[in-house]
Amino acid sequence: MALARLNGVAVRGIVSALPARVEDTTDLAVRFGEDAARRLATATGIHARHRVAPDQCTSDLAVPAAQALLRGLGWPADSVDLLVFVSQTHDQVLPATACLVQRRLGLPKTAAAFDLSLGCSGYVYGLWAAGSALATLLPRADCRPARALLLVGDTTTRLLDPDDRAVAPLFGDAAAATALEIDPAAAAMTIDLGTDGAGAPYLMAAGGAMRAPDQLARLFMDGTQVFAFTLREVPAAIAATLAAAGWSPADVDRFVLHQANEMMIRRLGQKIGATEDKLVLALARHGNTSSASVPLALTDAMAGMLKAGPARVLLSGFGVGWSWATAAATLGPLAVCETLVLPP
């Protein structure tokens, strides 16, 4: 495991964005039959998912989220020094989507911008990468604290075979924007990161890139292997993060785990000592939104608590890669914390 401590970086706000189109159990019943659709919803806890239109990309969700966040915070676009874009469904093979988003947001040419290609672990990895990079920047000439935007999101439904019941009922689309700012008084974040590439074949979209350019990009998932990996690796990572932070499970106000499916979250909760009242479940109307699932759970289920703040949260993302990342962080009060449904 790679343990890190991030000092002097504060989260100021989070905005999540969902596309307008919604697919629910009724739509699945047309393809799989009513009984199968009902059983799938009961087993996973997922009853609806937001889906992008055929011409929508991840940046089309992330940009409105970032614009709403900047407005809510009163941050001019030219005050942002760093943009980190985390996704596995980039707009194009190249250039980096971060470069496209920098222009669309009107960020200054002096801003650093780069992509990270990560899925379910991406939000916590992004907090570490963006926060660590932000902390190395020299003081600004105008004496304003250095600022960063962390954008995460995936349009996984564009990779789905609509008739594959292993993935079609599970995944939705979303993006989220998080504002970070240098603040010497900010509580430290303790972060644990891990990787096991041996799990790559069990959750992947092999086509459409350089190794198989003529093959259609379709998501494949072996759910049994995903579940086994999660229970094997994630509890130990969470325990290590809590220990390094000097926290016990009782010290945590909310456990915000990757929103993959309800049964998995509850099993993990039991293994890590999270009481049911502290375990966030925010997937019933959104499904598994990959890199956006953790921030979407924060804005959807914890907005009131985070605006009032401070709150001690345990954030953990895990999945495709295999890749996992956990953070013990004290968040709030946040000036902005909301979920937007974008117009069609």
Average pLDDT, the chain: 96
Banded pLDDT at 214 (limits 50, 70, 90): confident
User: Tokens 């926060």 identify what position?
Assistant: 131
Answer yes or no: is pLDDT of 1 > 80: no
**What's the half-sphere exposure (Cβ side, CA atoms, 13 Å) at 286?**
33
| Region at 168 (left for phi over 0; alpha for psi -120 to 50; beta for the rest) | alpha
- Which residues have a catalytic role annotated? 120, 258, 288
Compute how many other C-beta atoms are within 10 angstroms of the C-beta atom of residue 33: 11
Answer yes or no: is pLDDT of 208 > 90: no
Pick 298 or 140 by higher pLDDT.
Answer: 298
**pLDDT for the residue 222:** 95
Q: What percent of the chain has pLDDT over 90?
A: 91
The three-state secondary structure class of 324 is strand
- Write the pLDDT tens digit of every residue in 234-280: 999 999 999 999 999 999 999 999 999 999 999 999 999 999 999 99
**Closest of 322, 301, 324 to residue 255, by C-alpha:** 301
Q: What percent of the chain has pLDDT over 70?
A: 100
Alpha carbon distance 152, 292 (integer Å): 6
Banded pLDDT at 67 (limits 50, 70, 90): very high
**Closest of 79, 64, 87 to residue 16, by C-alpha:** 64
Answer yes or no: is pLDDT of 140 > 90: no
The three-state secondary structure class of 248 is coil
Cα first-last separation, the chain: 43
β-bridge partners, 152: 86, 176
Banded pLDDT at 154 (limits 50, 70, 90): very high
Mean pLDDT of 44-60: 96
Pick 65 or 36 by higher pLDDT.
Answer: 65
78's tokens = 């030219």
Mean pLDDT of 281-306: 97
Mean pLDDT of 34-58: 94
pTM, whole model, 2 decimals?
0.97
Mean pLDDT of 15-34: 94
Task: Give the Cα-Cα-Cα angle 67, 75, 109 (nearest 5 degrees).
Answer: 80
